[in-house]
Amino acid sequence: MATQPIIKLHDGNLMPQLGLGVWQASNEDVVTAIEKALETGYRHIDTAAIYQNEVGVGNALAATPVPRDELFITTKLWNDDQDNPQQALEESLKKLKLDYVDLYLIHWPEPRQNKFVEAWRKLLKLKEQGLAKSVGVCNFHIPHLQRLLDETGSAPVVNQIELHPLLQQRQLHAWNATHNIATESWSPLAQGGEGVFEQDVISKLAAKYEKTPAQIVIRWHLDCGLIAIPKSVTPKRIVENFNVFDFRLDKDELSQIAKLDAGKRLGPDPDTK
Print burial letters for 187-222: b (CB count within 10 Å at least 16), e (below 16): bbbbbebebbbebebbeebbeebebbbbbbbbbbbb
Q: Which of 2, 4, 6, 8 is nearest to 181 (CA)?
A: 8
The answer to whether 104 is a known catalytic residue is no
- The single residue of 51, 100, 104, 209 carrying the catalytic annotation is 51
Q: Alpha-carbon distance 157 to 215, whole Å? A: 26
Which 3 state secondary structure label does DSSP give 235? Answer: helix
8 Å CB contact between 231 and 25 = yes
Q: What is the DSSP string of 45-112?
A: EE--GGGT-HHHHHHHHHH--S-GGG-EEEEEE-GGGTT-HHHHHHHHHHHHT-S-EEEEEES---TT
Burial 35-54 (b: 16+ CB within 10 A, else e): bbbbebbbbbbbbbbbbebb
| Residues marked as catalytic | 51
